[in-house]
Structure 1
Amino acid sequence: MWSALTSGSNFVLESLETFVESTGVAGLFANMGWGSLVMICVAFFLLYLAIKHKFEPLLLLTIAFGMLLTNLPGANLYHTELFAGGHVHWDIFVAQAGLLDYLYLGVKLGIYPCLIFVGVGAMTDFGPLIANPKSFLLGAAAQIGIFLTFIGAYALGFSPEEAGSIGIIGGADGPTSIYLTAILAPELLGPIAVAAYSYMALVPVIQPPIMRALTTEKERKIKMRQLRPVSKTEKILFPLIITVIIALLLPSATPLVGCLMLGNLMKECGVVDRLSKTVQNELMNIVVIFLGLTVGATATAEAFLNPRTLFILVLGVIAFGMGTAGGVLLAKVMNFFSKDENKINPLIGSAGVSAVPMAARVSQTEGQKADPSNFLLMHAMGPNVAGVVGSAVAAGILLSFLG
């Protein structure tokens, strides 16, 4: 009897000990426990920004929650070793993979960003760009921040692949940043995604001081001629022509640009309304959830809590600022060669970054501060949508050289 009681007592104690060791609380005090606590706090802070201040909530909320899940000890939802070295280790994948590992394959294989571009294209009106083709130049000029930051990051000791991934933040295009980084520098995906979407949300804070510093009050008061009407035929031909040109000149940019133009063609052709509405709503919503969760899952303590992350955040805002300045300065240069009736308000140049339509709204707001009767929104939408194409092309150029 006594032997049986003793054996039963030992079994209970061993079971309790095993249970305690398996809890996440025990994991907090194991290896890098403090790092997990810090990252959990960061996740809560990002959730606060998304919910309270509405900073890009559709993606920042899911990214923050993915960050929370991956840093909860013992959850085993995401395993960095399965994607070590930038490759998917299929030999051990099935045996070790958790839920987020499977979902992350959509990021790693470039599926989610391209699907989001289909939805973005279906929600984009390229009419202002077609009506004023000069907007293409402003959208291209705003990408200068990408390449200048690439050079700067490389000079600071980042590898060419890492420098390219950091530079793309300057395009203010979250899906493009994720697409390029997942290919070139997947270990930086968490910090770069957080930086890209945070700066997109901070467009109304970052851009206005730069815009005012580079323009005079007289320039901000420039009123532009009304845009000409754009026919349906032009809007249908535009995505087809752009797809063919980009595919022939820069094949590496075709996945993003092709998906963007497919979505736009669905919208403009008028014969597949059901598909157009689906990619704008249901498809976009589903992909955003998966993309946000899995990108957030890459933000582990090891990847996030190091000096390189701080450099990425600083270089990202510099890239964004230089992109804003590039668009404004090119508009000023173009005015030297334009007649008075064709002058461009330099404020619309800042909309050449890809934050649609937020950057265009900032141009409108700053223009009306100078002259309440000035309406720049539609003019600014031209460079704004050109910036979406421009950032995808910039990503394609970096992939061509570094991929």
Structure 2
Amino acid sequence: MGQIIVEFLQNTGFAAMTWQQLVMIIVSCILLYLAIGRGFEPLLLVPIAFGMLLTNLPLAGVMDYPDTSLQFQAIQTQEAAINAQNGLFNARYITNIPGGLIHYLYQGNKLGIFPPLIFLGVGAMTDFGPLIANPKSLLLGAAAQFGIFFTFLGAILLGFDAQAASAIGIIGGADGPTAIFLTTQLKPELLGPIAVAAYSYMALVPIIQPPIMKALTTEKERQIVMKQLRVVSKKEKIVFPILVTILVSLLLPSAATLIGMLMLGNLFKESGVTDRLSKTATNELINIVTIFLGVSVGATAKAEYFLVSETLKIIVLGIVAFGVGTGSGVVLAKVLNKFLKDPINPLMGAAGVSAVPMAARVASKVGQEANPSNFLLMHAMGPNVAGVIGSAVAAGVLLALFG
């Protein structure tokens, strides 16, 4: 009986656990606390953190590859014997081990399926009206992408190759699906740390951005009141996604997938004739895909791949990318104010990172702290949605150059 108990204990996950796996389990629990206890992007962090937890449980095998050692079984029939004489064989292949469930879910990321579907849902939930009403927002959204290319150069200097540097730099766009899409295309082995960094920094927008915004602006600048936006017609909202898809895809074909899905979802919303499709994209579809994408991305963060020196560099470079993106948007807004009759509140530049709508809410909140009667949310949504387009375009540029 004692030997049976010993053998049982030796076959449990407790006996097989390494210190690296224990560290990753603790990290996943911290992320779950941030998501559930502190409310930091729970729809994203909960599945990602739980996927990280599952993949680091010893012997669980949720991300195991299927067994590729295939057995060959000849079918002993008269027909098979005749075919064998002619060099033909009637056989069937049997896979011994089917592989872990999340391994198959991960194929949706690996094949570039889930991120564009997320963009479809995001497009169906996005109102591009503030951007159309104030086209200058495009400049702020573009400026916020500077963090991507700044960090790309920094990663090159730290010894990463161009593909890895591109995947790391895209963290600065604060757009999880874009980061996943580009990383799976250029450097899939870095998907775990890059995805975790991207989504973690998105969740921490309310903590990361305000100090940068306040450091780069004066109290007087944060108090700037902006004029009410004009009303955007339905025709403009319908033409916009079609026109953007054509222009961006012709200019940068590698961005067509992400931009196309984003604008298709928006067209569902604005056309007024596809309510069922719009509701599906904004509810059932994006919720299902978010679960699959989040769990499978988290499951790539295995201890043996995650707890390496490269991961620490990625985490540091990611925060640099995010900070530079926030700061460059604010700086451009201040520069534009030297030439504009109606000044822009520089906080709008910080909303140019594409963490929709959190970055816009943070900009509005910081503005109201300086001037309680100042309501900037709709103004901030312009550069915020412009940032979504900008990060997709930046990903297309990097994919075209290094794909």
Specify if TM > 0.5. Answer: yes
Q: Which amino acid aligns with 1:158?
A: F
Alignment of 1:55-204 (within 5 A): 55-79=40-64, 95=97, 97-204=99-206
Shift of 1:25: 2.4
Any idea what SS the aligned residue of 2:210 has? Answer: helix
Inter-partner Cα distance in structure 2 for 1:101 and 1:365: 41
Shift of 1:26: 2.8
- Counterpart of 2:80 in structure 1 is none
Inter-partner Cα distance in structure 2 for 1:26 and 1:214: 53
- Counterpart of 1:6 in structure 2 is none
Inter-partner Cα distance in structure 2 for 1:92 and 1:151: 48
Deviations 1:162-216 (A, max 9, x none): 1111111111111111111111111211111111111111111111111111112
1:235 aligns with one of 234, 237, 243: 237
**TM superposition score normalised by structure 1:** 0.90
Alignment of 1:2-401 (within 5 A): 19-28=8-17, 33-79=18-64, 95=97, 97-339=99-341, 342-401=342-401
Give the aligned CA root-mean-square deviation in angstroms.
2.0
Query: Is this contact kept in 2: 1:82–1:92, CA < 8 A?
Result: no
Inter-partner Cα distance in structure 1 for 2:96 and 2:285: 27
Shift of 1:114: 0.6
Any idea what SS the aligned residue of 1:77 has? Answer: coil
Any idea what SS the aligned residue of 1:125 has? Answer: coil
**Percent identity between the two aligned chains:** 68
Inter-partner Cα distance in structure 2 for 1:125 and 1:356: 11
- Counterpart of 1:86 in structure 2 is none
Query: Is this contact kept in 2: 1:227–1:379, CA < 8 A?
Result: yes
Q: Which amino acid aligns with 1:45?
A: I
Inter-partner Cα distance in structure 2 for 1:93 and 1:326: 53
Query: Is this contact kept in 1: 2:66–2:95, CA < 8 A?
Result: no
Distance change in 2, residues 1:81/1:151 (3 Å): farther
Inter-partner Cα distance in structure 1 for 2:335 and 2:209: 19
Shift of 1:18: 6.0
Inter-partner Cα distance in structure 2 for 1:331 and 1:57: 31
Distance change in 2, residues 1:386/1:94 (3 Å): farther
Q: Which amino acid aligns with 2:24?
A: M
Inter-partner Cα distance in structure 1 for 2:29 and 2:369: 36
Distance change in 2, residues 1:93/1:157 (3 Å): farther
Deviations 1:234-259 (A, max 9, x none): 00000000000111011111111100
Distance change in 2, residues 1:176/1:328 (3 Å): same
Inter-partner Cα distance in structure 1 for 2:95 and 2:367: 54
Any idea what SS the aligned residue of 1:343 has? Answer: coil
Deviations 1:265-309 (A, max 9, x none): 000001111110111011111011101110011000111111211
Query: Is this contact kept in 2: 1:80–1:298, CA < 8 A?
Result: no
Aligned length: 379
Shift of 1:81: 9.6
Shift of 1:79: 3.1
Structure 2 gap segments, 5+ residues each: 69-92
**Which of 284-293 and 200-209 deviates more?**
200-209
Structure 1 gap segments, 5+ residues each: 1-8, 84-90
Q: Which amino acid aligns with 1:376?
A: L
Inter-partner Cα distance in structure 1 for 2:215 and 2:21: 42
**TM superposition score normalised by structure 2:** 0.90
Deviations 1:21-43 (A, max 9, x none): 43222322xxxx22111111111
Inter-partner Cα distance in structure 1 for 2:329 and 2:397: 19
Distance change in 2, residues 1:322/1:93 (3 Å): farther
Inter-partner Cα distance in structure 2 for 1:317 and 1:223: 30
Query: Is this contact kept in 1: 2:331–2:346, CA < 8 A?
Result: yes
Higher helix proportion, which one?
Answer: 1
Shift of 1:51: 1.1
